[in-house]
A and B are shown apart, each in its own frame.
Chain A
Amino acid sequence: MKKLAKDPINVVVAGVGGQGNVMVTLVLGNTLVHDGYFVTIGETYGASQRGGSVMSHLKISAEKQYSPLIPEGQADIVLGMEPVETLRVLKSYGNQNLVTVLNPRPIHPVDFTGSGAGYPDMESLLKQVTSMSAKTYVVAATEEAQKLGNTMLANMILIGALIQTGLVAISQEAIEKTIKDMFPKAVKENIAALNKGRELAAKQ
């Protein structure tokens, strides 16, 4: 376990119920705990499972157990699984030093559909996100996962991109161990997705 440049590191994972938000924080959290870090994760689930906005707060510390919620404006990294949800989180937790990793694949809120307004214009949406982040990685995780044959692999692609930023104190070796522990039947696919995410982020 290394001392962290900033302690704690605050990560928000933003998405929509059913996307696998909880699983993402669990993969990251398990890896970090086994490397000796203190990890606290606050999750919104229950009713939010059904198509609502879902957000997980992940705090990483080399020193102590923190509370499960991040204070306003104090996120260091936002892992955005969905564009509208990413912007929603930036509004509450963003700041000028924040790094965003974003999957640009929209999940249409039924209200946007119902009203006939449709989803917000993607270009302006991404512009908003970029202007509110010190650095933004746009990772077409769903598209890449479809190419790999399973849309659920989008989450591991995003995890790969997040690790590639170098901000979360997770080594390739440590994450591969977690993948073997948590997904023993799909190790190869998950490691391929992880590396795909790293590759996509490395180019940016």
Chain B
Amino acid sequence: MPNIDIDAPGSNQLFIGNEAMARGALEAGIGWASAYPGTPSSEILGSLAEVAKKRDIYVEWSVNEKVAMEAGAAASFAGIRSLVAMKMNGLNTVIDFLSTVILSGIGKKGLVLIVGDDPAAHSSSNESDSRPVSKWLDIPLVEPGDFQEAKDMMPYLYDISEEFGTICIMRSVTRVAHARGNIRLGVIPKVEHKARFEQYFDPAAPMPTPIMCVPSSFRHMFQHMRLDKVREKFEASPYNKYVGPEKPDLLIVTSGSGWLYSQDAVNALKAENRIGILKLGTLWPLPEKLVKSCLSRADKVLFIEETDPFLEGVIMEFAAGFSPESKRNLFYGNHTRHLNSFGELTPDTVIKAITGVLDIKYAPRDAEYMKKVEAVPQQYIMDRLLTFCPGCPHRASFWAIKNALAMDGRNGFVTGDIGCYSMALGPAGFFQTRTHQCMGAGAGLANGFGQLHRFGFDQPVISVVGDSTFYHSIIPGLVNGVHNHSDFTLVILDNGATAMTGFQPHPGTELTAMGEPAAQISMENICRAIGARVEVCDPFDLKNTTRTMLDLIEQKEGARVAIMRRTCELVRQKKEEKPYKMKIDPEKCLGEDCGCNRLCTRVFRCPGLIWDPVARKTKLDEVICNECGVCADVCPEGAITKEAVA
């Protein structure tokens, strides 16, 4: 597969949206990119990292989004085009900085933030919509409608950022960021980056000043003046377009993923002569003249948007101010329940919204086939619950935690965090996790639970976090816990990678994003320096890990730490052969008649183990099993055996 910097202008490539944005950033001549991984945004920085040295740009996986944002702003302040990327959860952590950088303005070179939203929360703990932040904080925001735009809008956005001296945001969604489509490549310019931080000549002051947000009200007024100028620019943007008849029966107003879905839906309904589509690429500030002229085309207007009714809100608000002699539209969308403000858009939800407004009949399948569809036995297509990979160290870690908590007997529980181990809410982690919010929340909650003994609370509390999460947002929670003598155990599942998002490095790993040797920060040294007791164990050593956990749980002296260290199975298998040859002796396996009542397949549930309902024995699925050896220590009868591979 070619890298994103393939030197073939004019050629067509198949890129995911994130690669298209990264390519666009290269064509815009960026010199800096920083990010913290998060689905669906991770491939932006990942693909830039692969070409960073060759293209002479600096690319960094930062410890968290806040640092990525501020470090990226410094590059802009010093005259380097700078890109920062994150998922919507990360945006929440940079709001404070954004609210001041819109006042201070940026440096001489552009600053662009890409935020990847995840409607339907395919790989997230929420599905919040980032677009309202543009209106809230006065930040210009664009949204690509297809893959080509995801690339082409990047140089456009840097030009806007520099012309008006403001940070700009590109919002993408999973079905743009993580979908693939055709990209016609442009030229990557050769840029001589020269960084220097000078006193900034501020046209608003007007005098050389530090880049600062005070006097805030004055600068706030100035940002509003800038937004008015950006609005004028957006009126003629090539990324806003109307397609359809001169006077349609229905005008669809859409943006982002809704653009392709709306076209597909109109196409499926064969309603090209009845429906027009206004697709907005520049959402904020709203190009009001363009919107007003399009609204005059039709009586009925339907908003097609992914997640929040953002355009629906701002356009209806705008239209409410029209003079009485202007056209009065009938608006449809979320407020009329033609579309939901949760879950993701699909061609079907758009078709349903349209047929709810216009009288068009649509039946995708004939009645005879629908009978077959309805006859499919539900037990054949039961949901496939997510689970840890075969050989994943987390399954063993949670097995040890579960058994230690059971032995302790005080109904202890885990406060969860964000990563693969979030799956411990379900059977994958034996239902040990009882809270699940955002990155860092598990440790914060444990701090609170750990102080409630004065009100009679006596349950042990374990905050389980990943290694990348530890550096990202756990350290302040541990400082607080040690300082205030909160009673909880912090477990760090150290698998040596940011596994959930694609094995990005973090401050504990050996290499930087650009593949250079990193200064590895030892998590045990940090924890010990804070003053916590620290134990390190190998989760595959179930006996010792369980014993250590029990000992830590039963200590009642403030925050303490267990580091459960073993490489992510997906990383290990790329470097090494399978460590064991596993076997199940059918003579020894007693199945349901065993005292354990098939503990291995009923509770441990590694996908490598399957239940044969005819023989009534556990079997190994040799295609799936990674032969890690852990289940041999789970089987009480010794029916499962591991033999080390020489």
Contact = CB atoms under 8 A, between A and B. Distances in A.
Interface string A57-74: 000000001111111111
Contact of A113 (B118, B423, B592, B601): B601
Contact of B260 (A43, A65, A70, A151): A65
Given A66-B264, A68-B179, A91-B373, A53 B623 contact: no
A63 B517 CA distance: 48
Given A39-B180, A69-B346, A118-B612, A87 B389 contact: no
B204 interface: no
Contacts of B1: 26, 30, 181-182
B373 A29 contact: no
Interface in B246-282: 257, 260-261, 263-265, 268
A146 B593 CA distance: 34
A44 B621 CA distance: 25
A69 B423 contact: no
Given A39-B14, A96-B369, A109-B384, A116 B122 contact: no
B179 A47 contact: no
Nearest to B623: A151
A116 B369 contact: no
Contacts of A95: 364-365, 369
Given A91-B373, A110-B427, A29 B180 contact: yes
B40 A46 contact: yes
B641 interface: no
B548 interface: no
Contacts of A40: 179-181, 260
B607 A51 contact: yes
A116 B260 contact: no
Contacts of B348: 71-72
Interface stretch (B375-383, B468-476, B535-543, B550-558): B375-383
A25 B179 CA distance: 11
Interface in B597-646: 598, 601-603, 605-607, 609-614, 621, 623-624
B341 interface: no
Interface string A79-93: 000001101101100
A105 B623 contact: yes
A73 B603 CA distance: 38
A52 interface: yes
A91 B123 contact: no
B134 interface: no
A23 to B, nearest CB: 10
Contact of B387 (A33, A45, A51): A51
Contacts of B181: 38-41, 65, 68
Nearest to A58: B180
B387 A110 contact: yes
Residue in A25, A108, A131 whose Cβ sees the most chain B Cβ within 10 Å: A108
A113 B372 contact: no
A139 B146 CA distance: 36
A82 to B, nearest CB: 10
A65 B147 contact: yes
Contacts of B207: none
B387 A43 contact: no
B365 A67 contact: no
A70 B180 contact: no
A71 B379 contact: no
A188 to B, nearest CB: 19
A105 B613 CA distance: 17
Interface string B341-380: 0000011100100000000000011101100110011011
A78 interface: no
A114 B601 contact: yes
Given A71-B351, A96-B369, A46 B122 contact: yes
B389 A108 contact: no
A29 B613 CA distance: 40
Interface string A146-180: 10000100000000000000000000000000000
23 contacts: A26-B14, A29-B14, A33-B14, A39-B181, A41-B180, A41-B181, A47-B500, A48-B122, A48-B123, A51-B385, A51-B389, A52-B384, A52-B385, A53-B383, A65-B147, A68-B175, A71-B265, A71-B268, A91-B376, A95-B364, A96-B366, A113-B610, A120-B379
Given A50-B388, A113-B611, A119-B610, 19 more contacts: A26-B14, A30-B1, A33-B182, A36-B12, A38-B181, A45-B178, A48-B122, A48-B386, A51-B607, A65-B181, A67-B347, A69-B347, A84-B384, A94-B365, A107-B607, A107-B621, A111-B427, A113-B605, A120-B379
Interface of A: 16-18, 25-26, 29-30, 33-34, 36, 38-48, 50-53, 65-74, 84-85, 87-88, 90-91, 94-96, 105, 107-114, 116-120, 125, 128, 131-132, 142, 146, 151, 181-182
